[in-house]
Structure 1
Amino acid sequence: MNVLRAAAAAAAFGVAVTAGALVASPAHAATYNGACGSGYNVVNSVAVGNSGTTFLTYNNSNGYNCAVTVRNNPGAAVEMVVALKRTQDDASQAVQDAGYYTTYAGPVYLHAAGSCVDWYGYINGANGFKNGTNCG
């Protein structure tokens, strides 16, 4: 799968991009790396297969969400994606970061106070997503 196809899948949120199923977090799951900056607190997360975790954070002072996809085991650059959108918005309005990374993809930011969000992570063939979460 190339980056363009992974990014298109990220925009679709909920369309599986691999034949593999989502699985439980591995014993050495990724931890949030603070990439979103100060004032952002983790409010949700989803496993990206056995490869890592996508974290959703929120900043109460400015109403912005931030998402980042973090690998369990950094190493050679692999294809990664993180994407975020308001649930009511068209998929084309998703903010995303897609490329080949050694440790994490993102962060991506979106003002979503009072809205539900859809968010997605992809790491080298594995994906994880949540739709319509963290409303309010």
Structure 2
Amino acid sequence: MKITRKPAVLIGGTVAAAGLVATGVGFAASTGGSESPAKPATQVAASAAAMPRLQMPFPCGQTWRGSSGSGAHTKYEIDFNWGSSGEADNGKTVVSSAAGKVVRSFYSTTSGYGNVIYVQHSGGYTTVYAHLKVRSVKAGQTVKKGQKIGTVGRSSAKYNIISHLHYEVRRSPDAYPPIAVYFEGKRFPYPGGSLKSCGGGGTPTSPVAKICGKGFKQIDKHALGKAATVYLGYSSASKGTNCVITVKKAGAKVKMSATLQGKGGKAKSDAGNFTTYAGPVKTANLGNKCVRWGGSIGSTKWLSGYGHCG
């Protein structure tokens, strides 16, 4: 990604960082220098332990672009984007790349990371997730591979940036600079490329297409503990249709619900006692309107804020 000094301009309908224009696929820019901590620790010696098998930090089946090696980064830091502009990605789900323990979850005012999470995995390897809009986990918490830990944002207090996920793999939490990343055993194609999450290890089949119908693709999900999962689907047909389902393993009937609401419209829900899923609940012709979605099983309920706009 090339950084050139110019007045703020529009990129895909979004204002780029003041004084800098980002060209390429990362959409990140800063006022100069690295986005690394102000006083990075010395890189530690390579661990003899094997690196855990990492998935991309997004739900399986999603394809994201990554870029690295710009003037604002070391060669192994990655900035991820999906949509046509950085702001199209604001609020999208970020997941843990592997099972581990959250060793840091805080708002940094000095490093430029903003809301940042450090997850330590087997062998001491640590993944770093920065600029988050929301942090969904706390320090000391254990997480599973693929578990939601936050959402994409632009929370840096130090740099004027466009929404993206800044991602690193380190040999330990304080080992800087980061090391080369392998997703599902395949090396990330530095300095940039597009990859499908879980593509190297087999993408789990999503129930969205089967239940919502032909043409629907999963764009987000949220676990209701271990009991069920709420899925958000989208189809480009008829100027865009969203679909929400709440799915559990087949078995006895359980009280469940699925809810979907376009901003400015009325909420639609499907609630009752079901053996496998609640829904599908659909809202068509929303154009660029944001949606709020959620579901429940038993006493466990969840409802998102408005997001997935445009």
TM-score by length of 2: 0.33
What are the within-5 Å matches in structure 2 for residues 13-32 of structure 1?
32=206
Distance 1:80 1:117, change over 3 A: same
> How many Å apart are 1:99 and its aligned residue?
0.2
Q: Confirm whether residue 124 of structure 1 aligns to residue 301 of structure 2.
A: no
* 2:270 maps to 1:97: yes
- Residues 31 and 101 of structure 1, relative CA distance in 2, 3 Å threshold: farther
**Paired position in structure 2 for 1:107:** 280
User: Match of 1:115, SS?
Assistant: coil
Q: Which has the higher contact order (CA 8 A, sep 6+)?
A: 1
Q: Contact between 1:99 and 1:105, CA under 8 Å: does it hold in 2?
A: yes
Q: What does residue 67 of structure 1 align with? A: 244
Gaps of 5+ in 2: 1-135, 148-203
Inter-partner Cα distance in structure 1 for 2:205 and 2:215: 17
Aligned twin of 2:216 = 40
Greater strand proportion: 1
Aligned residues: 110
Change (3 A) 1:128 1:49: farther
1:83 matched to which residue of 2? 259
AA aligned to 1:68 is I
- Structure 1 runs not aligned, ≥5 long: 1-21
**Cα shift at 1:31:** 5.9
How far is 1:55 from its partner? Answer: 0.6
Give SS of 2:237's match: coil
SS of the residue corresponding to residue 76 of structure 1 reads coil
TM-score, with length taken from structure 1:
0.71
Tell me the distance in 2 between the aligned counterparts of 1:125 and 1:60: 34
**1:11 paired residue number:** none
Q: CA RMSD in A?
A: 2.5
Q: Following superposition, which runs of at least 4 residues in structure 1 exceed 2 angstroms of deviation? A: 22-27, 29-32
Cα deviation for residue 66 of structure 1 reads: 0.6
Contact 1:117–1:132 (Cα < 8 Å) also in 2: yes
Q: Which has the larger radius of gyration?
A: 2
In the superposition, relative to structure 1, how do residues 107 and 95 fare at CA in structure 2: closer, same or farther (>3 Å)?
same
Assess if the C-alpha contact under 8 Å between 1:53 and 1:70 holds in 2: yes
Contact 1:51 1:123 in 2 (8 A): yes
Which AA in structure 2 matches 1:125? S
Q: Would you say the 8 A contact 1:46–1:129 is kept in 2?
A: no
Comparing 52-61 with 98-107, greater Cα deviation is found at: 52-61
Considering fraction of residues, name the structure with more helix: 1
Displacement after TM superposition at 1:25 (Å): 8.5
In structure 2, C-alpha distance between the alignment counterparts of 1:31 and 1:81, rounded to whole Å: 22
Structure 2 vs 1, CA of residues 98 and 25 (structure 1 numbering), >3 Å: closer, same or farther? Answer: farther
Rate the CA distance shift 1:131–1:77 in 2: closer, same or farther, 3 A: same
Against the structure 1 CA distance between its residues 37 and 48, is the aligned structure 2 distance closer, same or farther, given a 3 Å change threshold? same
